[in-house]
Structure formats: C-alpha cells, structure tokens
Amino acid sequence: MFKRKIALFHLVLVAALLVAGCSRTVVARDQSPTPEPAVSGGVAAWIDALAAAGMSVTQKGEITQPFFTVPGQVITVNGGEVQLYVYGDEAAAKSEAGLVSADGGTIGTSAMMWMATPHFYHSADAIALYLGDDAGILAALEKAFGPQFAGG
C-alpha cells in the first residue's frame, strides 16, 4: 500500500509538472491610449484625421481671432463647431499654443469670456479649439490631436 501511495504521488507530481510546463505566462501590456501619429499637411489632412476617428466632419468657413496669428477654419465635427488653426510649421503652432493658459482663460494678454467650456488641442502644425462638452467630439479630438493641453 505504501508503494501505491508513492506511485500515486509520483503520478500526481509528473502530471503537475506537465501542466506547469505547458502553461504560458501572459505579460500584461500597457493599455493606456496612445495618441495617433501627428498629422500635418493642411486643413484637409486634419479633416481626414477626424473623419478617420469616426466623426462626420464638414468645413464651414474661415474665422479670424485676435489671439492667433493665422486665420482659422470653422469645421463641424458631429454637429459641434471646432476652430482649426493650421500653421506653416510645428514651431509656430507650438509657440502660439504656449500663449494659452492652462485653463484657457487667457491667451497671451487677452482675457477670454467663453460661452462654453474651452478645450485646446495641439499637434504638429495645428491647434484646435472646441467650446463644449460633447464626449464624442472630445474623444475624436483627442484621438486626432492627443490630449488637450489647455481648457476645462
């Protein structure tokens, strides 16, 4: 009977080792969202990037604001208006993005009185400004531009 218990023990031990040898180790990857690659190439390229994020995008017209040196394009993204400012190069866009306070309440020396929550995004040669809180629009802007750099 003792030999049976040892034989049974060996059988269980071998089975356990076989199961352990056949198992795989799964290493969790970082699941944090990564921004899409930076887009450049003008307004059309940014419209394409937003459309690729699953948004319905149309171009409405031009807008001039005193706080940015380039005229912007007003585009609708799933019905919400977004102002898109495309610069000649990334350095110019980055320089102007640096003028915006963290809360979006001032740009350079201009104090702002927004009608809705401002959300500023910057990537490559562009700055996008969205006033509102639509989660779908915010998600699309973040996918195209990366996280907002200023605003609510």
Domain residue limits, the chain: 43-151
User: Dihedral, CA atoms, 18, 19, 24, 27, nearest 10 degrees?
Assistant: -130
139 CB-contact burial (10 Å; exposed 0-12 / middle 13-18 / buried 19+): middle
Mean pLDDT of 83-109: 95
Q: Which two tokens stand for residue 83?
A: 């102002």
Average pLDDT over residues 99-125: 96
Residue pLDDT, tens place only, 52-87:
888 899 999 999 999 999 999 999 999 999 999 999
Between CA 4 and CA 14 the distance in angstroms is: 15
pLDDT over 50 at 25, yes or no: no
pLDDT at residue 33, as a whole number: 42
